[in-house]
Amino acid sequence: MTVTVTHPGPEGHRSFFVALTPTRPDWPAALTAAEGAALSAHSESLAALAAQGICVLAGPCLDAGLGVGVFDGWTVDELTRHLADEDPMVVAGFFDASVRAMKVSFERASSETDHR
């Protein structure tokens, strides 16, 4: 399991882009029971963080080669600690995480349209 901070931003910065990269090249082909359980727990964790307003958005790229998330409200230390110690996919070693400070320049006003 690897959590890398590519760019922490200035001290106290609280908006981050996170890239989650699968640790095996054929992800998610032949998903194991352990991977499936960790993925379900990962999804539940992100849903809870979204309900708290910490996770702004998250989801996989359609080719499954990368998961992305935008988090707002935690410092880089809080976010990296969460990823390393509490994110089920990272803790299990199924995803590596890369954290990069970002500036939220634009945000949609509402989510009336479901893009799932």
Q: What is the pLDDT of residue 81?
A: 97
Nearest to 98 by CA among 116, 85, 84: 84
Tally Cβ neighbours within 10 Å of residue 6: 12
The domain ranges of the chain are 3-101
The whole-number average pLDDT for the span 95-110 is 90
Topology at the third CATH level for domain 3-101 = Alpha-Beta Plaits (3.30.70)
pLDDT tens digits, 63-98 = 999 999 999 999 999 999 999 999 999 999 999 999
Give CA–CA dist 68/21, Å, rounded: 9
